[in-house]
Every structure is written in structure tokens, then in C-alpha cells.
């Protein structure tokens, strides 16, 4: 099993990536070319106007081209592919970011593993779309060792069906040593539609070596990202005994880890903190810098920020030096 995060204990925040740039990416959105309402150029303009640096149009089984215009966002050639599941009439879907051609024939892959492997062979980044919406278990995903990332939050699924959050299955994968990069997306089909838009809900911050499609794909393949529906994570540093996080004003900051493990601190001093403490607050008393203890037992953890408006940000799983020991129950 590939443990990708072993080489990125601080992920995109490691000093080795100091020369990189943060790019705000929309990595999942649809146009009239498949089942969306905006024309490709209108979709790109919509995200450009909202401050996005990168757009990957992911029409189903198509690579949709668009004119980004002068100084427009970087366009990543991409598609949303599908794979059969043994046990269900429904398919799983995988984002293929940075592919130059489509599979031939254009039929669903036999498995998520085969789909991810094909994408990886093309030099693309394979990101599992909406695992909760597809009702996938960790056992459905573990064989797909070529996957690079997972949508921890799919905005469209969250908005329209309330099942866009996939943190539980993501953590089960991490606990079993399969660490996938943090991705959050809109999966918009009606971006900017005056009758009801499903965009600007979620995005992925990627630490790319440069402002290019290839660098974005390379960063997702290497786990150099965090996912957000609002909050920003400014820095993440290893310090003695844990991590120090600087972020946009937060109601709570936590380290999510495996069974029995992790810690969290809230801005409200009346709320109990566990294995975490506030280092700095803003004028409103919200957390802008926090210390998180490293895991006690588990060898991985991920940082999660919660903002006062309900927005969240998630780092990918980080390799942290917990002690992997049998849990003691006192029995
Ligand atoms: Zn989609």
C-alpha cells in the first residue's frame, strides 16, 4: 500500500515548497457540453470573476475546451470518468485532471482501481468524486492504489442532497495507511444561473511550483493541497510536541486522527479543549493561531478549521510521529 504522506509530513506547508505559489482551484464543474447550463466560456468567466486562478472543466466523458481569455485562469484539461461497482447499480465517479485524451472505448471502467490506474498512466491526477454521495465504503476504495486525492466536500451534493461531506471514509482510509490529498469542489452544473446557482461553495488550494496546468496536476498528485469552503490556512509548522497552525479567524481548530486520538480547541474559553491550545486571537476573540499536540497513538493526523459562519478547511492527512501501539482499555 502506498503511503503517500510519508514524504510530506507538513504537506504543502513544508519549507521545501516555499518557492511555490498558492492557487485557488475549481477542479469539478460542468457546462452545456454535458449536463450543465453554462457555456464553457461563461463558466470560465464566472470563476475568473470570483477570483479563481485555475479551472478544470470536468464534463462527463468529454474534455471540454474553452478560451480563457487574456490573463484568464489556468485551464486544466479534465473529465469526469466513471467506474462500475460490483454490488450496486450505481457507478463511482473519478475526476481525471490533466489528461490529453479520453479512454477508448468511452465506457465505464470495470472498477475504481482500473479507472484511477488509467488516469495515472496518462500522467493525470485521479481524484475520487463525492464518495459519500456514491455511498462508497473504504473497502470499495482501498484497491484503487493509483488514486491521488478525494473530494472531502462536494458542494453540489451538500447543497442539493445534504450528502456532500466525505470526511468519515477519508479518515478510515488514512487509518489504514492510504493517504489521499485534500480536495473540495463545487461540482457545479448551474454556475451563475440567475434561477439558482450551485457554485462558489468549495474549492481546493494547491501549492504549485508555477502557474501552469502541469504544475497544478503535479501538486495534486503530490498531495500539496488543502480543501476549503471558506477558511484559509496560512502556515502549518512542526514544533516540539505538535503543530502550530495560523489561519483565518476560526471558531475551532483541531487535529483529527485515528481511534481515540486527536485534539481540538474552541475560541469560546468556556468550552473544554483537548490536546490543543489557543496561541493568538483576533479582536473578536476568534482563533488565528493554535497549537495542536501530535497524536498519542496514531501515526497520522489532519488539521481541520471551523469558521464562525460554518465554513471549514481541511488539510490532507499528515504523517506525524505518534506511537503505534495497542490501545489499552485497562481490562
Ligand atoms: Zn460532476
Pairwise CA distance, residues 293 & 139, whole Å: 30
CA 23 – ligand 1 centroid, Å: 21
pLDDT for 188-236, tens place per residue?
999 999 999 999 999 999 999 999 999 999 999 999 999 999 999 999 9
Residue ranges of E strands in 17-114:
21-26, 54-55, 74-75, 78-84, 91-97
Distance 159 CA to ligand 1 centre (A): 14
State whether residue 41 is helix, strand or coil: helix
pTM for the structure as a whole: 0.95
Distance between Cα 16 and ligand 1 center (Å): 33
Measured distance CA(211)–CA(26) in Å, rounded: 14
The predicted structure's pLDDT at residue 84: 95
The C-alpha atoms of residue 136 and residue 75 are separated, in whole angstroms, by: 30
Kindly give the distance from the C-alpha atom of residue 58 to the centroid of ligand 1, in angstroms, as a whole number.
Answer: 7
DSSP 3-state of 268: coil
Centre of ligand 1 to C-alpha 84, Å, is: 16
**Ligand 1 centroid – CA 60 distance (Å):** 7
- 271-329 pLDDT, tens per residue? 999 999 999 999 999 999 999 999 998 989 999 999 999 999 999 999 887 766 555 55
Amino acid at each position: 500500500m502506498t503511503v503517500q504522506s510519508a514524504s510530506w509530513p507538513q504537506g504543502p506547508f513544508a519549507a521545501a515548497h516555499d518557492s511555490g505559489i498558492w492557487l485557488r482551484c475549481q477542479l469539478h464543474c460542468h457546462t452545456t457540453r454535458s449536463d450543465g447550463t453554462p457555456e464553457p466560456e461563461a463558466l470560465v468567466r464566472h470563476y475568473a470573476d470570483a477570483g479563481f486562478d485555475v479551472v478544470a472543466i470536468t464534463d462527463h466523458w468529454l474534455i471540454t475546451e474553452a478560451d480563457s481569455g487574456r490573463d484568464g485562469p489556468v485551464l486544466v484539461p479534465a473529465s469526469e470518468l466513471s467506474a462500475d461497482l460490483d454490488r450496486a447499480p450505481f457507478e463511482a465517479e473519478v475526476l481525471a485532471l490533466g489528461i490529453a485524451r479520453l479512454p477508448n472505448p468511452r465506457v465505464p471502467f470495470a472498477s475504481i482501481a482500473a479507472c484511477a490506474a488509467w488516469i495515472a498512466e496518462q500522467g493525470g491526477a485521479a481524484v475520487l468524486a463525492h464518495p459519500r454521495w456514491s455511498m462508497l465504503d473504504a473497502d470499495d476504495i482501498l484497491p484503487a492504489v493509483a488514486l491521488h486525492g478525494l473530494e472531502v466536500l462536494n458542494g453540489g451534493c451538500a447543497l442539493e442532497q445534504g450528502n456532500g461531506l466525505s470526511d468519515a471514509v477519508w479518515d478510515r482510509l488514512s487509518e489504514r495507511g492510504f493517504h489521499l490529498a485534500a480536495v473540495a469542489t463545487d461540482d457545479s452544473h448551474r454556475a451563475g444561473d440567475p434561477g439558482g446557482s450551485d457554485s462558489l461553495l468549495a474549492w481546493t488550494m494547491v501549492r504549485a511550483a508555477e502557474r501552469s496546468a502541469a504544475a497544478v496536476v503535479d501538486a495534486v498528485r503530490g498531495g500539496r493541497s488543502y480543501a476549503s469552503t471558506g477558511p484559509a490556512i496560512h502556515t502549518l509548522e512542526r514544533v516540539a510536541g505538535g503543530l502550530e497552525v495560523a489561519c483565518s479567524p476560526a471558531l475551532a481548530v483541531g487535529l483529527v486522527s485515528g481511534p481515540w486520538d486527536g485534539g481540538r480547541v474552541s475560541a469560546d474559553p468556556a468550552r473544554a479543549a483537548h490536546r490543543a491550545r489557543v496561541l493568538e486571537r483576533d479582536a473578536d476573540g476568534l482563533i488565528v493561531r493554535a497549537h495542536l499536540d501530535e497524536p498519542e497513538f496514531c501515526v497520522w493526523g489532519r488539521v481541520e478549521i471551523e469558521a464562525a459562519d460554518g465554513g471549514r478547511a481541511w488539510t490532507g492527512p499528515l504523517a506525524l510521529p505518534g506511537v503505534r501501539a495497542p490501545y489499552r482499555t485497562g481490562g
